[in-house]
Amino acid sequence: MKPETVTIEDKTFKIMIDAETIQARIVEIGIQINQQYEGKKPVLLGILNGCFLFMADLVKQIDVACEIAFMKVSSYHGGMESKRVVTEDYDLKMDIGNRHIIIIEDIVDTGHTMRFIVDKLKARNPVSVSICTLLHKPTAMEYQIEEINYIAFEIENKFVVGYGLDYKGFGRNFNAIYQVVQ
């Protein structure tokens, strides 16, 4: 199924990145991670809920020995505006001292959420922290985050849904990414 537009509640969204383009880019990122983490046994740390499809497809491209872990935070609380308040719903249980961490995120928007997570992780003494994000809105950034090493797609500063991202809880199951029609 590849509709050109989708409607969720009161909003219409048009296709922005199709499923084939997403999968091709994930293969490229997998190759980069395999080259850069050979022998390092990284922890791939998914940030729920939005990461779940991206992470599932990405880890299938990772050949190096790695562990999988999750954290859950909320910052949009279902709407279209970042609330600049990060709620911690589920913390990482693993000891990450002396480990290489690759954070797997759906989207870096203002950077508030990532700044919060990176600072929290660094206090636990990992060897390195790197961010791999599906989407990045460079013009929305309000923080400097030099840990962002892998970006699948840079997009303009408009609200998107699909492939893990929701609007009012819906749309996470779409296999493509859609942009709101203003």
Residues carrying an active site annotation? 109
Stretch that binds ligand 5GP, among 5-13, 87-95, 109-117, 123-131 (CB under 6 A): 109-117
DSSP state letters, the chain: ---SEEEETTEEEEEEE-HHHHHHHHHHHHHHHHHHSTTT--EEEEEETTTHHHHHHHHTT--S--EEEEEEEESSTTSSS--S-PEEEE---S--TT-EEEEEEEEESSSHHHHHHHHHHHTT--SEEEEEEEEE-GGG--S--TTEEEEEEE--SS-EEBTTB-BTTB-TT-SSEEEE--
Residue 113 in contact with ligand 5GP, rule: CB under 6 A: yes
One symbol per residue from 56 to 75: x for binding ligand 5GP (CB under 6 A), - otherwise; what is it? Answer: -------------------x
Residue 126 in contact with ligand 5GP, rule: CB under 6 A: no
Residue 159 in contact with ligand 5GP, rule: CB under 6 A: yes
Nearer to ligand 5GP, 34 or 82 (CB): 82
Stretch that binds ligand 5GP, among 1-9, 22-30, 105-113, 145-153 (CB under 6 A): 105-113
**Residues forming the site for ligand 5GP (CB under 6 A):** 50, 75-76, 82, 105-114, 159-161, 165-167
